[in-house]
Amino acid sequence: MEQQQLIPHLFRSEYRKIVSVLCRRFGFDEMEIAEDIASETFLTAAQTWGFNGLPQNPVAWLYRVAKNKAKNYLQRNLTFETKVAPQVKSNFSECCETEIDLSPQNISDSQLQMMFAICHPSIPPEAQVGLSLRILCGFGIDEIAEAFLSNKETINKRLYRAREKLREEKIKIELPTPAEIDKRLDAVLTTIYLLFNEGYYSISQNQVLRQDLCFEAIRLCQMLADNEHTNKPPVNALLALMYFHASRFDARVNETGEIILYDDQDTSLWNADMTLKGGYYLNRSAVGSTLSKYHLEASIAYWSTQRADTKEKWENILQLYNRYLQVAYSPVAALNRTYALAKANSKEEAIVEAEKLNLTDNQFYFALLGELYTGIDNLKAKTNFQNALAIARTTADKKIIQKKIEEFE
């Protein structure tokens, strides 16, 4: 790999590891310093490698430089603390230890602990996702801003407030106790799924960035599945769910960035390897007695990997949505359930049910009614698509709805 490509690549894979280890060592009080040291390490790399060429083992080089910078910092701090302010220091023995442990085991432990710390219930979900992208995924502020369709200032402020909150709440970087893991895991999984959805459904046009978001979410979830303390059924179910969805990545957008609807997708572009992985983790999730919403969603996503439009498929999807809505209502799930009802039972029955939903501020509600009325009452179908168009937000959505309307002309 060329040096110009290597540094951004290493930044993405190594920055987060260095930050997690340093943060865990320093605590959230000195989180910015941990981030600064990690950033400076890459700056030093860019300068030094430019002059001297690539070191033999770039990763080891980065770790060594990061360790030295951290040690220098701790040493300076120690001098200050022992000579200038001995009375405020409570953890002397820890402060004397300036060795930084960048072993694979400690890196992985630190990242997991960091995940739980960032996904603390006291941090707003949006900030959790932002911090996760920065600290756990090594995203630049520019990239985070683009993913959220926001600007750098807003993202910086949001991250600043989130870091403040971590300090105020005195959140510790540690794994919750076994008794608490299940409860805290919920918030972690929610953030990971938000991160995934940010990539999967985001309105950002940057395809590469969107896929990166999804793969980062999968990577974080994979870390949970690979650790014996956090390898719980809902973790495996969420992982399965994300693999099933991600399997259609290459098929759902054309060369110009337009969304291709499910029915029009080229199934040869569906990724069979990811579907298999999804199946593997769905099987692994099928233990214990709790059926999480991720189990239900993953099962629905499994059926979506089966293209054949069979009665069996839609009946299964319908029953899964029936159960899903009992544990986790959302307007989107209600609309999807009604579509499945049309496929499994009849359009007529689905129209009656759809109109009960009365989600008149939702473009997909009208789009669904448009679909259902098509072939039954085309005039009503067209009116509904026009209603959908009037409240559609993204250009991609508008294009799709416009096409539907034109079919009636």
Partner 1 sequence: MRHEDGTKIASPEQMQIWMKQTMDWIGSIAAQNKFVSGTGLPFDDARVVHSNKMVTNGPFGEIKETIGGFIVVRAESADEAVEFAKGCPVLQGEGNTMEVRRIAKNDGTH
Of 181, 325, 391, 396, which lies in the binding site for partner 1, with binding defined by CB under 8 A?
A: 325
- Determine if 3 is a binding residue for partner 1 (CB under 8 A): no
- Determine if 319 is a binding residue for partner 1 (CB under 8 A): yes
Q: Which of residues 340-359 bind partner 1 (CB under 8 A)?
A: 341, 345, 353, 356-357
Nearest distance, CB of residue 344 and partner 1, angstroms: 9
- Determine if 326 is a binding residue for partner 1 (CB under 8 A): yes
Q: x/- contact string, 272-311, with partner 1 (CB under 8 A)?
A: ----------------------------------------
Nearest distance, CB of residue 65 and partner 1, angstroms: 55
- Determine if 95 is a binding residue for partner 1 (CB under 8 A): no
Total interface residues for partner 1 by CB under 8 A: 18
Q: Which of residues 374-393 bind partner 1 (CB under 8 A)?
A: none
Instruction: Select the span of 22-30, 41-49, 126-134, 336-344 touching partner 1 (CB under 8 A).
Output: 336-344
User: Three-class SS string for the chain?
Assistant: CCHHHHHHHHHHHHHHHHHHHHHHHHCHHHHHHHHHHHHHHHHHHHHHHHHHCCCCCHHHHHHHHHHHHHHHHHHHHHHHHHHHCHHHCCCHHHHHCCCCCCCHHHHHHHHHHHHHHHCCCCCCHHHHHHHHHHHHCCCCHHHHHHHCCCCHHHHHHHHHHHHHHHHHCCCCCCCCCHHHHHHHHHHHHHHHHHHHHHHHHCCCCCHHHHHHHHHHHHHHHHHHHHCCCCCCHHHHHHHHHHHHHHCCHHHCECCCCCECCHHHCCHHHCCHHHHHHHHHHHHHHCCCCCCCHHHHHHHHHHHHCCCCCCHHHHHHHHHHHHHHHHHCCCHHHHHHHHHHHHHHCCHHHHHHHHHHHCCCCCHHHHHHHHHHHCCCCHHHHHHHHHHHHHHCCCHHHHHHHHHHHHCCC
Nearer to partner 1, 265 or 345 (CB): 345
Nearest distance, CB of residue 300 and partner 1, angstroms: 13
Nearer to partner 1, 159 or 344 (CB): 344
Nearest distance, CB of residue 324 and partner 1, angstroms: 8
Nearest distance, CB of residue 401 and partner 1, angstroms: 23
Site for partner 1, rule CB under 8 A: 315, 318-319, 321-323, 325-326, 329, 333-334, 337-338, 341, 345, 353, 356-357
